[in-house]
Structure 1
Amino acid sequence: MSITQQYLLDTYRAQQLGRSGPPAPGVHDWQVVREWRDRRQFRAVIAERPAHGRLRQALGRWLHLRRRATS
């Protein structure tokens, strides 16, 4: 059963029981992404690592080492 079919079935059941229907699939996706990002930043702070710009710093170190190896 696909997500859409399950959603339609749940909506039908809720309507039959006089309850409010479930949220549509994908409605809260961005909220989940934000919470995941916040949790990752929090864990970085707790581990005493920089919470922002870690990818950029890693790429900068990699490029710096690569330039030194070629010269």
Structure 2
Amino acid sequence: MSITQHHLLDTYRARQLDEPAPPAPGAHDWQVVREWRDHRQFRAVVAGRPARGRLRQALGRWLRPRPRSSC
């Protein structure tokens, strides 16, 4: 059974029982992504790392290495 068929069956059952219809598949995907990003930022702050710009900062170090000091 596909996800669409399952959703249609759940909607039909909800109508028969006078219950609210379930949300459509994928309706809350962006909310989940935002919550996941917020949780990652929270964990970074708790661990003492910068919460934003970590990837760009790492790429900058890799693309622009510091000049070696001649001692």
TM-score (norm 2): 0.88
Poorly superposed stretches of 4+, deviation over 2 Å: none
Bigger helix fraction: 1
Query: Percent identity among equivalent residues?
Result: 78
Q: Tell me, which stretches of 5 or more residues in structure 1 are unaligned?
A: none
**Shift of residue 21 of structure 1?**
0.6
1:17 and 2:46 aligned = no
**Equivalents in 2 of 1:59, 1:9: separation in Å?**
48
Provide the aligned length of Structure 1 versus Structure 2.
67
- Mark the runs of 5 or more structure 2 residues left unpaired by the alignment: none
Q: TM-score, normalised by structure 1?
A: 0.88
Residue 55 of structure 1: CA displacement? 0.6
Please report how far the alpha carbon of residue 57 of structure 1 lies from its aligned counterpart in structure 2 after TM superposition. Answer: 0.3
